[in-house]
Structure 1
Amino acid sequence: MPPRTRAPEATWHRAKPAPVVLVSGPESLLAARAVERIHHAMGAGVAITTLDAGAYTSGALLAAASPSLFDEPGLVVVEGAEAMNDAFLADGLSYAAAPEPDVVVVIRHGGGVRGKRLLDTLRKGGVPEYTCPAVKRDNEFADFVAAEFERAGRPAPAAVVRRLVDAVGTDLPELAAATQQLLGDVEGAIDEDAVARYYGTRVNATAFSVADAAVAGQVSTAVTLVRHALAAGVDPVPLNAALASKLRTLAKVGASRGRGLDPTRDLGLPPWQVDRARRELRRWNAESLADAIEAIAAADAEIKGGGRAPAFALERAVRTVAELAAP
């Protein structure tokens, strides 16, 4: 591949076909979306061949990318380049020097230093790179959902996007599945009522919804949610663990203020989580937070075998935490 000026990086939603494409970054769902966009842009009927760079056999890339194997231009997707073996590294470097113009080869690299020589060669050669960064901030989850609606040609108002993220939570695959369900089941405009109808009761009764309500001092809501979750068969252990995690985050962010620490830089907490914790800490002081942590620790011991009624122990702990935070 003749040297050229390095192509500028673009995010996954701008991905389009080229003889060789690099899709990089840790967020696998976004990487899958990038490949989908490339495939869609190539038209219907394009054959896809998938290779595993970690279990690669010499010659497989050249065979898959051979135009003679396709009735029309094909797409070759190389997964797991962050774990590539030496055979793929050698073939990847060779192929990058003279790629087939009528075939699209997408190399998916999840991050790390493995295969750096190939990545440097691709980048220096001007290969287009589409990044799939980890989604961490609250607004990034909202942006993802908005992009999913737009990708389907049915843009949703910001209030609908916000309602869906609040209901489903910050698990990217779950958000994607929820968005696709709404797109498939709801005719016409998707509004807040549709989100509430599908996810207002089932998904809100999750571990983190219970934790959020308790930490916010919403006693009746927290108790209702935990009862709903238990009735739906949710294990008390993750419910209690989510509340414990929430309280630990509050404790870390609260303690960082007096120690001159940056919670994101020094404690590794995502910025959106820090912002939210700072808002929630307005209801708490050191004494009440310590009491809440003790209540959750006691419940944890009972739930894991120390008591005979784990559901009751969990509900009692949730109520205690919520009452400590209540106005």
Structure 2
Amino acid sequence: MLVTGTEDLLAERAVDRLVALARERDPQIELTRVDAAAYGAGELMLATSPSLFGEDKVVVVEGVEKATDDLILEATDYVASPQPDVVLVLRHGGGQRGKRLLDAVRAAKHPVAACEPIKRDADKAAFVTQELRRAGRRMEARAVRSLVDAVGSDLRELAAACSQLVADTTGVIGVEVVERYYGGRIEATGFRVADAAVDGAAGEAVALLRHAFATGVDPVPMVAALAARLRVLAKVSAVRGRGPGAERELGLAPWQVDRSRKELQRWTPEALAAAITAVAQADAEVKGASRDPKFAVERAVLRIAGAVRS
């Protein structure tokens, strides 16, 4: 089994799940872990060779993206003719190193688990919902959105937040619970600033922005949050009137589409274009074109808020 991709949390869970399945079949199964970066010739043959008493084995090779030449050569030969009583798990964290081995795994039609980063808010929301479902709990849609806004940049942190909420609360988890635990962090992110700016609430947006800067938030991710928020508006605007099928193809969560539809009632195409231009200018300024990046972001926020029809 090849577990590939740069999302470590998903990869760790995939490997743990494979080991757990093997142990369900045989609680006494022998587990061997191999560090591909420190691999020496012959280790794989030793780890996968039949045992004296015929027990099954699980061999987990970590860090294939840093593998020695010996590991790549020997594992490539092995996957063409594997031992029937051995579960071999290859963990590759991304990059070109070991490509020959990965190609051999795929050519032999062994299973592959792709663990790539979850970037879209809709997918992060689905991840939260699944985390809660695994724990036998539910969370309101607005609460899911608030949690993703607060800690959604890192999947491991998002999973930890779900675990904390499950451990500390009972019943359906509402938005007030999420904001009680993570409200300060939500306010200190660009998402709240972007929400206020897109809503035309210039005073609130600037106050939140200055609070974020006071708590150490860098201007660059603030601009990124503004850009992401306007990008969603632009996507929904581009398919207006083409029916729900076109909206489903956007890859957005239903709440994002519904919210954008309502917000677009106060936005003209010209105003949206002007707001996007303001953010593009701020992006250049915070990356070196301005002596005062914080002022550049604040000016963009005011321009966005000012573009909204009252």
Q: Letter of the aligned partner of 1:271 in structure 2? A: G
Paired residue for 2:104? 117
- Name which of 88, 94, 99 aligns with 2:83: 99
Residues 237, 300 of structure 1: 8 Å contact kept: yes
Q: Distance in 1 between matches of 2:226 and 2:132?
A: 32
Matched, 1:314 2:280: no
| Pairing of 1:77-226 with structure 2 (within 5 A) | 77-81=60-64, 87-96=70-79, 97-99=81-83, 101=85, 103-109=86-92, 114=100, 115-121=102-108, 123=109, 127-132=110-115, 135-151=118-134, 153-159=135-141, 160-169=143-152, 171-184=154-167, 186-189=168-171, 191-192=173-174, 193-226=176-209
CA distance in 2, matches of 1:247, 1:162: 17
The whole-number CA distance in structure 2 between the counterparts of 1:48 and 1:199 is 40
User: What is the identity, as a one-letter code, of the residue corresponding to 2:83?
Assistant: P
The corresponding residue for 1:235 is 218
- Native 8 Å contact 2:150 2:189 kept in 1: no
Change (3 A) 1:201 1:285: same
The CA distance in 1 between the partners of 2:68 and 2:266, in whole Å, is 53
| Number of residue equivalences | 287
Larger displacement relative to structure 2 (212-221 or 78-87): 78-87
In the TM superposition, residue 175 of structure 1 has moved relative to its aligned partner by 1.6
CA 1:270 to 1:204, structure 2 compared with 1: closer, same or farther past 3 Å? farther
Question: 1:47/1:325 Cα in 2 relative to 1: closer, same or farther (>3 Å)?
Answer: farther
Q: What's the CA shift string for 1:150-175, capped at 9, x where partnerless? A: 44x34223534444234433542332
Shift of 1:291: 3.2
Structure 1 unaligned spans of 5+? 1-20, 258-262
SS of the counterpart of 1:234?
coil
When residues 63 and 202 of structure 1 are mapped into structure 2, their CA distance, relative to the original with a 3 A threshold, is: same
Which residue does 2:35 correspond to in 1? 51
Alignment of 1:248-259 (within 5 A): none
Asked if structure 2 preserves the Cα contact closer than 8 Å seen for 1:137 and 1:273, the reply is no
CA distance in 2, matches of 1:48, 1:212: 50
Are the aligned partners of 1:65 and 1:100 in contact in 2 as well (CA < 8 Å)? no
Give yes or no for the alignment of 1:287 onto 2:274.
Answer: no
Question: How far off its partner does 1:83 sit?
Answer: 6.9
Q: Which amino acid aligns with 2:155?
A: L
Distance across 1 between alignment mates of 2:77 and 2:39: 15
Residues 62 and 325 of structure 1: CA distance in aligned 2, closer, same or farther (over 3 Å): farther
Counterpart amino acid of residue 226 in structure 1: L
Distance 2:92 2:35 in 1: 13
State the shift of 1:198 in Å. Answer: 1.1
- In 1, Cα distance between equivalents of 2:274 and 2:145: 33
- TM-score (normalised: structure 2): 0.69
- Counterpart in the other structure of 1:8: none
Residue 35 (structure 1) aligns with? 15
CA RMSD of aligned residues (A): 4.3
For 1:36 and 1:270, locate their aligned partners in 2 and report how far apart those are by CA, in whole Å: 33
Q: Tell me what 1:323 maps to.
A: 306
Question: What is the CA distance between 1:81 and its match in structure 2?
Answer: 4.4
Structure 2, unaligned stretches of length 5 or more?
Answer: 241-245
Contact kept? 2:149, 2:191, Cα under 8 Å = no
For 1:143 and 1:298, the matched residues in 2 are separated by 33
Alignment-derived partner of residue 12 in structure 1:
none
Distance 1:48 1:66, change over 3 A: same
Aligned residue type for 2:15: V
Alpha-carbon distance in structure 2 between the residues aligned to 1:90 and 1:200: 52
Instruction: Check conservation: 1:27, 1:133, Cα contact below 8 A.
Output: yes
2: CA distance, partners of 1:37 / 1:197: 33
**Matched-pair contact (CA < 8 Å) for 1:164–1:195:** yes
Change (3 A) 1:22 1:237: closer
Q: CA deviation at 1:229?
A: 1.0
